[in-house]
Amino acid sequence: MKRTLYLFLSAASLFTAAANAADTVSDQIRRQTDLFAVASQSGDQTTMNRLLDEGVLFSGGSGVVDRDPEFDATDALSAELRQLTEAFRDANQRGDVAAMRSELDDEVLYVNEDGIVSGRQDFRSGAPAVPSEAVSSTVTVSQWVLHHSGDLAVASFLDDQTIRYATQSLTFRFLCVESWVKRGEAWKLIASQTIPLHEDPPAANLPSQLLNEYVGTYTAAPGRIVTISRSGDTIASTSGTKTMQLAAEVQDVFITLGLPAGYARQRLFFRRDGNRHITGYVSSGLLFTRVPSATLAPAPPQGALVLRDFVLHQANDVAVATFLHDRQTSYDGQVLQETYRSSETWIKRGDTWKIIASQGRRLPDDPPQISLTEEDLGAYAGVYTAGPGLSVSITRDGHALSAASTGETPTTLIAAARDAFFTPGSPRTLIFFRRDANGHVSGYVNRRDERDLVFSRQ
């Protein structure tokens, strides 16, 4: 069976695979988690296979699940758990927390699409969430796969969520990996992780002269060289032998195209000096400075992956864990900080523990921020609507903006670029203002996971 690797993993301290008799289950599984990380980085397939159960459902964050179809179940249990899964999602879309809680195991570890972990006691909402502005929301389960062994069953599937806002409807997709345990005659949800699936957004049309301004060579450090070139009606980014097509979202903000659905698109926020000349761009927390030319040098080694916030719940021969991996990579004084959230289900086979379900992904970061003048910020103030009953009032609030829909708590908007704003702590959503032919702000799009809710200025 082909095994999917943790593509984001890197070197960590090597741990022995032999469990000390005095170790707790948590100690043993934590050590095996680190061992798997080391094996993944070095391409040690033998060690990885030793830690994976034959019936494993493994998602490394790309948006697909690696598995052996031989273990796919199409029996009565598969039908029963799919029905329970669909009922759980229906209850979430209508806000019925009591109905959802009735399906949760006491040892549940529930991770929503933002990477937030809940246990049974602090569980308040399922995933995918329903935005407060929605008129209604429905979820359809598709691409259902179930593997089961004794009193444990693991499932993977897609959630197709349709949200209706006044006169507009948006459809989002999420990949879920879940685990169920049998308690008496009932099956209970003991582990769940949901990740959003992304898509390429529509490109904004920028004048050819403006596109030419971005062309050049940029560097974050020796070995981190990027060349920006024209590519038809847009631009492309080349690093080494890899070229990525870019799409403009607004002036000075571009997004990568063509990535797997599970990976968040990377954004480039271009920076200008007082004369409006391009000086560089910020991407993934690194500042790339524009230079006349640069020589490619060996890239710095990736930093070690550090495991933290490891939580494990055990139910007899089943254990569920969730944790974060942090990785820091130094680039000539700059530090790239990456954080990954993973959830795993382990099953005891004889005297050893095996991974039977796993899902992980990199958590997105807030965009960089810039300062705009009071005059610039004042140009965005006004009332915007997405249809009858859905209006948002935007006002200037110091060095930021404040947005509030009727009856809702105001939200702070910080500038990432001219016409591009974000709310701190909500990196999946950006606001892109649109302008008319005279340069006046005419509306904005609320872009979440590359799906757009369109607002027009009143």
Handedness of CA 455, 198, 249, 363 (dihedral sign): positive
pLDDT at 28: 96
Q: How many residues does the chain have?
A: 458
Write out pLDDT tens, residues 272-301: 999 999 999 999 999 999 999 877 666 666
pLDDT at 20: 45
pLDDT at 14: 32
pLDDT at 214: 98
pLDDT averaged over 10-residue windows placed end to end, the chain, 458 residues = 41 36 83 90 89 97 97 98 98 97 98 97 96 95 98 98 97 98 97 98 94 96 90 92 96 97 96 96 96 74 85 96 94 91 97 97 96 96 96 96 90 97 97 96 97 97
What are the residue ranges spanned by the domains of the chain?
366-458
pLDDT at 212: 97
Query: Is 213:228 a contact under the CB 8 Å cutoff?
Result: no
pLDDT at 297: 64
The DSSP bridge pattern shows strands 52-59 and 352-362 to be parallel
Which CATH code is given to the segment(s) 366-458? Answer: 2.40.128.50
Assess whether the previous peptide bond of 388 is cis (omega < 30° from 0): no
The DSSP bridge pattern shows strands 136-149 and 400-405 to be unpaired
pLDDT at 331: 87
End-to-end alpha-carbon separation of the chain, Å?
A: 58
Element (DSSP H or E) covering residue 31 = helix 25-42
- Going by C-alpha positions, the residue among 123, 135, 132, 138 that lies closest to residue 93 is 138
Encoded tokens for 415:
């500038």
- Going by C-alpha positions, the residue among 315, 317, 321 that lies closest to residue 32 is 321
Residues 6+ apart with CB under 8 A from 421: 401, 413, 414, 415, 430, 431, 433
Taking the CA atoms of the chain, what radius of gyration do you get in angstroms? 24
